[in-house]
Amino acid sequence: MSRQRILIADDQADIRASLALVLQSEGYETGSAASPAEAMLLLERGAWDALLLDLNFRADTTSGEEGLALLSSVKQINADLPVIVLTGWGSVGLAVRALRAGAADFLEKPWENTRLLGVLRAQLALEAARRATAALTIPLPQGAILHSSATMRAVMALVAKIAHADVPVLITGESGTGKGMLARHIASVSPRHDKPFVTVDLGAVPETLIESELFGHARGAFTDAKTDRPGRFEIANDGVIFLDEIGNASLSTQARLLGVLEDGQITRVGEARPRRVDVRLIAATNADLQERIAAGGFRRDLFFRLNTVEIALPPLRERIDDIPLLAGQFLLASASRHNRPARGFAPDAMAALTTYSWPGNVRELAHVVERAALLAEGETVHLADLRLTPAGPAPVERMTLDQAERYLIQRAMADAGGDAEAAAKQLGLSRSAFYRRLASLRK
Ligand SMILES: Nc1ncnc2c1ncn2[C@@H]1O[C@H](COP(=O)(O)OP(=O)(O)OP(=O)(O)O)[C@@H](O)[C@H]1O
């Protein structure tokens, strides 16, 4: 494969040189332009894979007008060329204008090389994918939180608002709704994005080890403590700690966590001296903490410390508008991973995907689609390839009473063509009893 060619446009020779050095060390070929006119000339003459454009062209201007003008000329001659703009630190307004004018992404100066390379790689991959599958949906960079429903748009708008504030976040939602993914996303767009992100699954660590796991221990503190060891909070210092399944924390762990949140200090097991830690806490749970509080299993004071911001991830069945996008993207990814021909869904298959109740949420959807990608013979995934139990979630033996009721009511309504009276009769219910149940399902 020939090397990818990146054009660097900046009037400052030292910035051009250092960008070129970073890019060349990663195997890219580079060219550089010291003025907008030179950049246009080079773009017209050669084939380039991406443009890195410093918007603050000319050291004495900070308005970015010259850079923006160049950006729009570039987009006129090559609309598909990924343009990554560099802006002065804190000039988010300028970055937004650049994105509106067609820039693919932006970086603030001083940039970090790893982030620069990450952004560049993602944009090159996107553009390559766009070219290869012009007719298909555009694959997004790995790790993007795919969504198109109004519900999830609202969630993501809230996320965008709170990611920058250094406050604790509590993410609630059923298993597989993407809580872990969202926690990572929040960290990655927060000011702590380049600091450690440490996960502790409070459901998985045995109670006897949890304290030393979280806070560390001194050598000899207990039989297996052969060396001094920092805990997860210390490892996460300056960064983010993600406490998964916080609902599973014992009351004594809860008390210790509350202590850390209150005074920002931890003490290793077997030590007397507390240590200061600066950690942003993100917690997640699929349990109903209010219910736990009422039952005495969860501390109310800890709950209020954790939920400064609470983000509820709705179950997939309550955001069916996300399903076509998620299923489509999962299908393309699985098909390419397994080298299979599947590209899209037959209408009956898509109808089944959007009506299934998805008790395992997005994780289950990803599995079902991956299996379908393997099973489908041609480009189209058919209903049978999905291997979903028709119109219902699990076999009735594995349903909860609620799920079974929902299933029976939905089936009766479907059989009766939406005629509630006939459906009620089929289920042996009076019309008013049937309506009551129907109403409770819609809550
Ligand atoms: N909106 C989304 N876009 C793309 N992938 C998603 C999305 N939501 C979830 N996923 C994928 O679904 C899987 C489950 O997500 P995740 O592990 O974050 O869920 P969770 O709610 O933390 O689950 P659990 O409660 O079981 O730990 C992951 O593979 C994740 O990448």
Closest protein CA for atom 31 of ligand 1: 181
Q: Is 176 in the pocket of ligand 1 (CB under 6 A)?
A: yes
312 Cα–ligand 1 center, Å: 14
ipTM surpassing 0.85: yes
**Measured in Å, how far apart are the chain's first and last C-alpha atoms?**
56
What domains are there in the chain, each with its CATH number?
Answer: 5-132 (3.40.50.2300), 150-312 (3.40.50.300), 319-386 (1.10.8.60), 396-441 (1.10.10)
Question: Could you identify the atom of ligand 1 that is nearest to the CA of residue 181?
Answer: 18
Question: Could you identify the atom of ligand 1 that is nearest to the CA of residue 147?
Answer: 1
Q: Is 286 in the pocket of ligand 1 (CB under 6 A)?
A: yes
Closest protein CA for atom 28 of ligand 1: 363
Closest protein CA for atom 25 of ligand 1: 175
Q: Is 254 in the pocket of ligand 1 (CB under 6 A)?
A: no
Structural contact between residues 211 and 250, judged by C-beta atoms closer than 8 angstroms: no
Structural contact between residues 353 and 319, judged by C-beta atoms closer than 8 angstroms: no
337: Cβ contacts below 8 Å, ≥ 6 apart: none
Summarize pLDDT for 135-179 with one digit per residue, the tens.
Answer: 333 333 346 899 999 999 999 999 999 999 999 999 999 999 999
% of the chain residues with pLDDT over 70: 91
Summarize pLDDT for 308-330 with one digit per residue, the tens.
Answer: 999 999 999 999 999 999 999 99
Of 14, 85, 83, the C-alpha closest to 43 is: 83
Summarize pLDDT for 106-131 with one digit per residue, the tens.
Answer: 888 888 898 899 889 888 887 776 66
Structural contact between residues 242 and 282, judged by C-beta atoms closer than 8 angstroms: yes
Q: At what angle do helices 431-441 and 401-415 cross, to 10 degrees?
A: 120
Q: Is 178 in the pocket of ligand 1 (CB under 6 A)?
A: yes
> What is the per-residue pLDDT for 59?
47
Among 286, 313, 362, name the best residue to mutate to test ligand 1's pocket (greatest count of ligand atoms within 8 A of Cβ): 362
Strand partners, 51: 7, 83
